[in-house]
Amino acid sequence: MKAKFLITGTNGQLAKEFIRLFSKDDIPFLALSRQELDVCNFFSVLNILKEIRPGVVINCSAYNNVDEAESRFYEALKVNGLGVYNLAIACMEIGAYLIHYSTDYVFDGKKGSLYAEEDKPNPLSKYATTKLIGENLLKEILSDRYLIFRVSWVYGDGTQNFIYKLISWSRQRDIIQVAFNEVSVPTHASFIALKSHKAIKKGLQGLYHLVPMGYASRFEWAKKVFEGLGIKKDIQPVSKEIFNLPAKRPDFSAMDSTKIRTDLEDHFTHWEDLLKGYLKSLGGL
């Protein structure tokens, strides 16, 4: 079977948005789950890509449990590093274009202003280290015909996101503590899929920071979520250090999207407007 687009990690929230987008626009694609395509298995990856021969591979496979990666570094590295390597080699073999997603957590948060693509990464956690390794392996293998998008605080359909956790906490607690000193850009998965597809169609290549406009602390984001959903709970701003989480997070990892906006000649929405649309789909606002 041939397909213009091959999507890996089909059960994730980003893959679901690509599936929704391509289905709506009647674009030929094939989406494979981890069980159907294990990116950690090189020969499986190579054989399947040779059989399908997609023009574009969109890698939505990722090990995203930031704290768990501290004690399961090898498992995270297999997916975020080796998996990317396998896909890159296979894409080189068949001449396919590889789209991959990384994270704002590759930065240490000490710059104090928006991060540009040229800023030097310095990951604080093992998760972020594996994501940076994946970036570097991809660049080494595919000198062109690739796109790496660094994204941040992604939310959408699924349980592995901050909004889902907030709603769960609101059902269990009267007082909810949220960090005021962790700042980045909340990003709806549909925004990432839409802009990624536009970049693919335009033939862009290289590394980009793909985030909407503005930025917020976790606390500010949580307040907007509760306001939009009409949840009446006491949200208290606290330092992230009190949670004593296994993985360190950067204080300020918000990224600058000027490069991608310029190359796409596109206007990007503010993160609050994207959030309003998402909360409306949940029955809020």
The domain 5-159+186-215+253-272 having CATH identifier 3.30.470.20: the answer here is: no
CA dihedral 167, 22, 94, 204 (to 10 degrees): -80
Best CA proximity match to 270, nearest among 283, 259, 282, 261: 261
CA distance 25 to 168: 34
Single-letter amino acid, residue 179: A
Residues 6+ apart with CB under 8 A from 281: none
Instruction: Report the C-alpha gap between 91 and 184 in whole angstroms.
Output: 32
Residue-by-residue pLDDT tens, the chain, 285 positions: 456 999 999 989 999 999 999 999 888 999 999 999 999 999 999 999 999 999 999 999 999 999 999 999 999 999 999 999 999 999 999 999 999 999 999 999 999 999 999 999 999 999 999 999 999 999 999 988 999 999 999 999 888 899 999 999 999 998 999 999 999 999 999 999 999 999 999 999 999 999 999 999 999 999 999 999 999 999 999 999 999 999 999 999 999 999 999 999 999 999 999 999 999 988 765
- The pLDDT, as a whole number, for residue 2 is 55
In 3D, which of 102, 184, 194 has the Cα closest to residue 156? 194
Q: Where are the domains of the chain?
A: 5-159+186-215+253-272
Both tokens of 172, joined, read 């269990």
Q: How many Cα atoms sit within 13 Å of 282 on the Cβ side?
A: 22
